[in-house]
Amino acid sequence: MLGWAVTFLVVALVAALLGFGGIAGTAMEAAKLVFFVAIVLFAISAVIGLMRGRSSTL
């Protein structure tokens, strides 16, 4: 997912350099959205992993 965010960021930067403001803004918003979704999913995964803990082999 972070790869997608970086890809949208690069697209936004290239579009901004070429003068396509609308496309650059849309790509930047998509990059931010994907980045924050990835962060939220990571946090949820970390909390669930901590709650499960390690199982005993006794």
Q: Environment class of residue 28 by beta-carbon count within 10 Å: exposed (0-12), middle (13-18) or buried (19+)?
A: middle
The whole-number pLDDT of residue 3 equals 86
Q: From residue 27, how far is each of 41, 43, 55 by CA, in Å?
A: 21, 24, 44
Q: What is the pLDDT of residues 9-26, one digit of tens each?
A: 888 889 988 988 888 888
Note whether residue 57 is domain-resident: no
Most distant CA pair in the chain, distance? 65
Note whether residue 33 is domain-resident: yes
- What confidence category does residue 39 fall into, taking pLDDT thresholds of 50, 70 and 90? very high
Note whether residue 41 is domain-resident: yes
For residue 32, what are its two tokens? 């931010």
Calculate what percentage of the chain has a pLDDT beyond 70: 91
**pLDDT surpasses 90 at 58:** no
**pLDDT surpasses 90 at 44:** yes
Q: From residue 21, how far is each of 2, 15, 28, 38 by CA, in Å?
A: 23, 7, 10, 26
- The number of distinct structural domains making up the chain is 1
The whole-number pLDDT of residue 2 equals 78
Residue 40 belongs to domain spanning: 2-52
